[in-house]
Amino acid sequence: MAKITYKPFKQNKRTIYTTRNGLPSDNVLSAAFDSSGRAWVGTDKGAAVLENGRFKAVEEFCDAVQVLFTDDKGTLWVGSGNVVCTSEGKNRQELDSEIVSISQDHSGNLRLITKNTLYRYDGEFVFWHSNDGEIPLDMCAFGDGEVYIAAGSSLKTAFGKRLRWFAINNETSDMPETQVQAVAADKFGMLWVGTEDGVLVYDSRNHWVSKKDVNSLCSYNIKKILFGKSGKRYVGTDIGIMIYDGAKRSFYIGGYWLPTGEVTALAENADGNTLLVGTPKGVSCIETVMMTLADKAKHYSDMTEKYNVRDIGFVTNRDLDDIYDFSTGGVEISDNDGLWTGSYLIGQAYRYAVTGEKESLDIARRSMKALLLLMKITGIPGFTARAIRRPGERGYGNGNPEWHPAKDDISELEWKGETSSDEMVGHFTASSCYFDFCATEEEKKEISDAICAIVDHILSHDYRLCDADGLPTTWANWNPDDLNRSDRWYWERGINSLEMLCFLKVAYHMSGDEKYNAEYLRLIKEEHYAVNTMSRKVDDAHTCHIDDNLGFLISIPLLRYETDPDILHCYLIGMREHWEYERAEHNPFWNILYGIFTDECSEIDVGVNSLREMPLDLMELKLMNSVRNDLVWDYSPEKYGEPPQLKESLPYDEKPLANYDCNQFLADRLSERKILLDASLYMMPYWMGRYYGLIGE
């Protein structure tokens, strides 16, 4: 497959500000940027300006500030109650009623509307026309003097030499019957009209376009609309913000990008690269920066090194107490420390193979030592621990029977048994990558001995892992009788066959001992393990993704080492079947792995687009996309007792983020637990794509 070279791209990053960052109140009513580029926010308890990463209250404006507007001369106007003035307190005027909106047409004419009256600016705001009827909700001015008002039951326009009002609604035009709540216009008189039922586009004469004509038009309850200086369209709704940037459309609900869904204010800076989104629970600053994929890889690696490493080099999720302070909480002692540490190691090993950077080698070496500790600490030859914990760490000494006392050269500790197949996949795949790309000869001997000990343990215990109590663990079972002749292992037959073949192949690759190769061939010839892998993924209505993660991960060393075309044929057919089944997930890892080992079109561009979409903070947070009305639902999971999920996975910057063993088709994440993921989500597919020549920069 030919290399695809990717140029720098637009990356969004966000910062949330609340009263903890100096806002007078979290209830944001308005926002703007002044002529020097400083962000201003108006709340129900006054205005504040952003300085050095923190908002500072503006003493001049301590009451509710419902309007902020910067005109084309750089003057920032402040509307507080019925009083309007500049941000310096100049040109102060008391008007007839509460100010609703300030706007400027494309000839520079400044307009202001209160609940009762329309004003024009002529050195000061002077009466222009009374507003008869409903209280206005929004206003826009364009051209040379035209004004449109979102007036609830209608879109009202003021025009003519002797100014007059005209109400545009379903009685006087082809506008659908709806509630008009927001309006914005470009210099050509094309209006976007925000209604309770979505966006309407109006040519300011007699032509209307709605979602039934253009499917990409937002169909939510619209609160605010802003036309950006570079052509972007920002549509604020009661559940989030939709951003139109050329052909790209993104919808960010409350949770990660916004402190809550309802949008109350929008403002864009002069360069068009920073957006303020006000909500009743704070303001979000969404900044667009140019990045390369390599820049992003470095960012994620640095984040993980700072926040996701514990003990001698274990890399897992971090539980956060505060989503705005990554130093809070602590790194998880997980059930799968070997799998997650191994996944991170894989990315760093491939990074080293591409770049030769000492930093990546040091990181990989540290995590390899952590894996070796898990392999040896149990004192049971070949039996690997799930995790370790030391005195003072959560749960230490609580008497859980799966935790066993031990000691290394640092301190006393406890190790966890009940080790699963997941752990073995992490250890064998990561160890093979480190062995081939990073290890010294001394390290190769140590790794080979540890890996062969595990395989010897499995073979001597009837193809199982046996715990400290002498009993087989629940999930670590590769026994031919069970996999081939027991219905109880129906779901695991293909993946576990793949795993066992890989374990033997890796042991043979590292040691050269023919006994492993002989057993590998026996399982293929007598127990049809290779044939089992042809149907390794069983249709489960996309409800379980643990086997997906294990199947693709364990394929890495197996496909790297196997050269026999007859055996490879089985593995590659299985990979194709698996990838086709998961295609709708848009998973960057699956897509890139499939392209690496099959040389087939694997939607590398889709995979890389997923890498581009990933937020810079890889957080699992509570997220409720099911409030959206544009989702296509799949009800087949109900036959397994699971709730409906999506037919196609959402973009990575819109969906609930999770590791690759989690369900990527879920619209919502209900858990209140706040998690910072490590970088393996990005590092594995990116650096493998670079190493095998699928991704260029």
Which 8-state DSSP code applies to residue 309?
E
d(CA 434, CA 447): 9
pLDDT given for residue 600 in this prediction: 86
pLDDT given for residue 161 in this prediction: 81
| SS3 at position 285 | strand
pLDDT in tens, 339-350: 999 999 999 999
Give Cα separations from 341 to 359, 367, 434, 532, 680 (angstroms): 17, 7, 12, 29, 9
d(CA 594, CA 198): 40
Mean pLDDT for the chain? Answer: 96
Give Cα separations from 100 to 115, 156, 183, 266 (angstroms): 6, 15, 13, 15
Instruction: Report residue 549: phi and psi, to 5°.
Output: -60, -45
| SS3 at position 432 | helix
| SS3 at position 190 | coil
pLDDT in tens, 389-437: 999 999 999 999 999 999 999 999 999 999 999 999 999 999 999 999 9
Identify residue 167 by its one-letter amino acid code: A
d(CA 315, CA 297): 16
Q: Compute the chain's Rg from CA coordinates.
A: 30
- DSSP labels, 4-59: EE---EEEEEEEEE-GGGT-S-S-EEEEEE-TT--EEEEETTEEEEEETTEEEE-T
pLDDT given for residue 1 in this prediction: 58
- Kindly give the parts of the chain with pLDDT less than 70: 1-3
Of the candidates 258, 289, 284, the one whose C-alpha atom is nearest the C-alpha of residue 272 is: 289
Q: Which helix (H) or strand (E) holds 415?
A: strand 412-416
pLDDT given for residue 498 in this prediction: 98
pLDDT given for residue 689 in this prediction: 96
pLDDT given for residue 261 in this prediction: 95
CA angle 430, 431, 434 (to 5 degrees): 85
pLDDT given for residue 5 in this prediction: 78
Q: Look at the block and give the residue holding tokens 């858990």.
A: 671
Q: Whole-model pTM? A: 0.94
Instruction: Report residue 241: phi and psi, to 5°.
Output: -120, 135
pLDDT given for residue 145 in this prediction: 84
Instruction: Decide: 119 and 126 in contact? Cβ < 8 Å.
Output: yes
